């Protein structure tokens, strides 16, 4: 058993290896055939089972696909014991990932004879401790699920009401007036918001309950009643800065309405509007008192879309040093409405967050030319990526300069592995080689059309779906590190907007973001490949080759250079 970020199966008799990577609220299982060999032709996939802490029974993961001719209406037909997973890696969301103790995974290779009868080989098992917090009492990384456009959402909730009964899908200015009417709204919103929602709301609940704490908030978007209601309950213990750029500054915006509400509860002198050189783009909460010292930051806006529709992350930092850093930035923003003035404050350079055993720093924008970070980050990506680069950058499609150039340079290298997600199509990053890296996937172009047995998926309204801003470098090396925050890796984020950027050099954190990057890449890459023609062809599991020249399902994972690299890196 291990509470480490990666564990391996140790059965020497199993014909394959197993590595389990600990994510936050999820795990990535990576498998590979041993000895550099190919599987036998009759290998038809992996049966994957798991056992929760303290449980006696294993439960099989389900596969949406079945073999041709199987009764698709029979739930047992979708058990991976009867419908093996035809992939060499798989992301799993345990139902109760926060349970204390170890989850046990058992992965078994399945083989099929000419009569379509399955037999099973030697299994690999491994134990992994997930736990609620990434580093209990120090640092918690949390993600929103961000999968309104998913089969899981359709199966669980769409039959009980359309997505517009859960979240407003039109004008954001009406967010504070929206009331969900979905029949399973409580469960659905909890599922959609996942750990990012719970981390943010629980921190605010803690602040409301402890009358000795003070709270400082910086908000870019603010239209979520659950959040505004909690902020209102803080009364004069709250000080808040709300962006007033563009539509946010209009008198009928949700932000203007929220400011009016909070001015009434906290006092007008505790509420401020700001946009610096462009945007006040932070999404931060600082809770400080005799018994509480916590900060929430990340990419998650305090909105319906931010919590429930988009892919976002939140980081909760615990400790006096983290509070000092973010509180000092808050005071600097409060005192300086001009970008040039803020850039000269002591909060612009990197500051050590002093998290015990975790190398973590934070910097706040806007910067001066001497404290600007964009070029240095680009140089780190281009010059110091030795193994892999995984990123999820919401506005890479609109950004030119150091980061785009660095990502392009690393993507074109034969000896580096790159997967990426961007909000829209990214020009200039093109890979021609068959063993090269994949061009960035663009979730915003999805049509909702997927082939059977998949069902049509809702879009969740217009707007950005993938809102993350993170870069993971060399997750599998001692030098593993992650850049994350509200910072969009653009010149505006560096020199004009109010932003926060964290640099965390830690493998557990890097692996957590790696798993998130992979689950998003797989989810959107599959959907982005669909065309009107492909969406009519039913997907099924593949039996072993039965005719001359027919290839087994796994052949491309051993002959396609890019898939070979994928299989090896994560196993």
pLDDT, tens digit, 9 for 90 and up, residues 483-533: 999 999 999 999 999 999 999 999 999 999 999 999 999 988 888 777 666
Q: Which of 98-112, 142-156, 378-392 has the least mean pLDDT?
A: 142-156
Both structure tokens of 175: 């967010």
- For 333-384, the pLDDT digits (tens) are 999 999 999 999 999 999 999 999 999 999 999 999 999 999 999 999 999 9
**pLDDT at residue 452 is higher than 90:** no
Q: In the chain, count of helices (H) and strands (E)?
A: 13, 23
Instruction: With beta carbons less than 8 A apart as the criterion, state whether 491 and 398 touch.
Output: no
Both structure tokens of 177: 């007036």
Question: How far apart are the C-alpha atoms of 395 and 393, rounded to whole Å?
Answer: 6
Percent of the chain with pLDDT over 90: 80
- For 170-215, the pLDDT digits (tens) are 888 999 999 999 999 999 999 999 999 999 999 999 999 999 999 9
pLDDT at position 448 is: 62
Q: Mean pLDDT of all residues in the chain?
A: 93
Task: Write phi, then psi, for 333 (nearest 5 degrees).
Answer: -65, -45
Q: Which DSSP letter does residue 498 get?
A: B
Of 454 and 219, the structure prediction assigns the larger pLDDT to 219
Question: How far apart are the C-alpha atoms of 484 and 394, rounded to whole Å?
Answer: 12
- Residue 315: helix, strand or coil by DSSP? strand
pLDDT at position 444 is: 66
Question: How far apart are the C-alpha atoms of 248 and 257, rounded to whole Å?
Answer: 10
Task: Write phi, then psi, for 160 (nearest 5 degrees).
Answer: -95, 0
Compute, in degrees rounded to 10, the torsion defined by CA atoms 39, 40, 41, 45.
Answer: -50
Task: Write phi, then psi, for 30 (nearest 5 degrees).
Answer: -120, 130
Instruction: With beta carbons less than 8 A apart as the criterion, state whether 153 and 192 touch.
Output: yes
pLDDT at position 463 is: 72
pLDDT at position 1 is: 37
**pLDDT at residue 439 is higher than 90:** no
| Of 194, 202, 241, 195, residue with least CA distance to 222 | 241
Task: Please compute the mean of the pLDDT values over residues 88-98 and round it to a whole number.
Answer: 93
- For 46-91, the pLDDT digits (tens) are 999 999 999 999 999 999 999 998 887 788 889 999 999 999 999 9
**pLDDT at residue 219 is higher than 70:** yes
Q: Which of 134-143, 183-192, 463-472, 520-529 has the least mean pLDDT?
A: 520-529
**pLDDT at residue 435 is higher than 90:** no
CA-CA distances (angstroms) from residue 289 to 251, 284, 329, 352, 527?
35, 17, 18, 21, 47
Confidence band of 254 (pLDDT split at 50, 70, 90): very high
Percent of the chain with pLDDT over 70: 96
The pTM of the whole model exceeds 0.85: yes
**pLDDT at residue 3 is higher than 60:** no
CA-CA distances (angstroms) from residue 460 to 50, 68, 147, 192, 224?
32, 33, 9, 11, 16
Q: Is 343 left (phi over 0), alpha (psi -120 to 50) or beta?
A: alpha
Instruction: With beta carbons less than 8 A apart as the criterion, state whether 25 and 512 touch.
Output: no
Between strands 499-505 and 481-485, the pairing is antiparallel
| Of 52, 46, 50, 70, residue with least CA distance to 60 | 50
Confidence band of 301 (pLDDT split at 50, 70, 90): very high
Contacts of 414 (CB under 8 A, 6+ apart): 433, 435, 436
Length of the chain counted residue by residue: 571
């Amino acid at each position: 058993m291990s509470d480490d970020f990666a564990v391996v199966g140790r059965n020497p008799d199993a014909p394959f290896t197993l590595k389990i990577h600990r994510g936050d609220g999820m795990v990535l299982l990576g498998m590979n055939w041993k000895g550099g060999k190919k599987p036998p032709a009759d290998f038809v996939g992996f049966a994957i089972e798991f056992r929760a802490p303290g449980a006696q029974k294993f439960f099989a993961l389900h596969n949406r696909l079945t073999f041709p001719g199987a009764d698709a209406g029979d739930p047992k037909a979708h058990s991976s014991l009867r419908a093996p997973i035809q992939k060499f890696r798989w992301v799993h969301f345990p139902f109760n990932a926060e349970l204390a103790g170890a989850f046990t995974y058992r992965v078994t290779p399945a083989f099929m004879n000419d009569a379509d009868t399955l037999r099973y080989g030697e299994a690999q098992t491994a134990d992994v401790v997930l736990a609620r917090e990434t580093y209990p009492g120090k640092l918690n990384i949390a993600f929103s699920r961000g999968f309104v456009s998913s089969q899981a959402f359709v199966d669980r909730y769409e039959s009980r009401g359309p997505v517009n009964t859960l979240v407003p899908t039109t004008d954001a200015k009406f967010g504070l007036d929206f009331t969900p009417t979905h029949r399973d709204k409580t469960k659905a919103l909890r599922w959609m918001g996942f750990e990012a929602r719970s981390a943010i709301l629980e921190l605010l609940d803690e602040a409301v309950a402890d009358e000795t704490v003070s709270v400082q908030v910086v908000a870019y978007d603010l239209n979520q009643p659950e959040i505004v209601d909690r902020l209102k309950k803080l009364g004069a213990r709250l000080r808040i800065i709300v962006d007033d750029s563009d539509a946010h500054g209009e008198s009928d915006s949700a932000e203007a309405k929220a400011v009016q509400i909070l001015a009434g509860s906290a006092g007008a002198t505790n509420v401020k509007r700001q946009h610096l050189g462009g945007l006040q783009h932070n999404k931060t909460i600082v809770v400080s008192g005799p018994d509480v010292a916590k900060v929430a930051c990340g990419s998650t806006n305090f909105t319906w879309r931010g919590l429930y529709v988009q892919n976002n992350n939140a980081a909760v930092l615990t400790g006096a040093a983290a509070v000092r850093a973010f509180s000092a930035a808050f005071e600097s923003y409060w005192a300086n409405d001009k970008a040039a003035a803020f850039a000269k404050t002591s909060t612009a350079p990197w500051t050590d967050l002093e998290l015990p055993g975790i190398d973590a720093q934070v910097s706040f924008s806007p910067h001066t030319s001497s404290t600007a970070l964009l070029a240095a980050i680009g140089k780190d990506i281009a010059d110091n990526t030795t193994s892999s680069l995984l990123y999820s950058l919401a506005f890479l499609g609109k950004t030119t300069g150091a980061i785009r150039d660095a990502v392009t340079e690393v993507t074109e290298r034969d000896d580096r592995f790159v997967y990426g997600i961007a909000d829209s199509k990214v020009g200039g990053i093109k890979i021609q080689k068959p063993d090269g890296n994949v061009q960035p996937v663009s979730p915003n172009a999805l049509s909702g059309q997927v082939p059977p047995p998949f069902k049509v998926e809702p879009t969740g309204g217009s707007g950005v779906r993938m809102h993350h801003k993170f870069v993971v470098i060399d997750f599998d090396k001692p030098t593993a590190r992650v850049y994350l925050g509200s910072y969009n890796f653009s010149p505006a984020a560096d020199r004009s907007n109010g932003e926060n950027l964290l640099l965390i050099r830690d493998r557990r954190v890097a692996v957590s973001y790696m798993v998130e990057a992979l689950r998003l890449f797989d989810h959107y890459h599959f959907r982005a490949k669909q065309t009107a023609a492909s969406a009519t062809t039913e997907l099924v599991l593949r039996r072993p080759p039965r005719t001359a020249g027919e290839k087994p399902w796994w052949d491309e994972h051993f002959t396609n250079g890019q898939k070979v690299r994928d299989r090896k890196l994560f196993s």
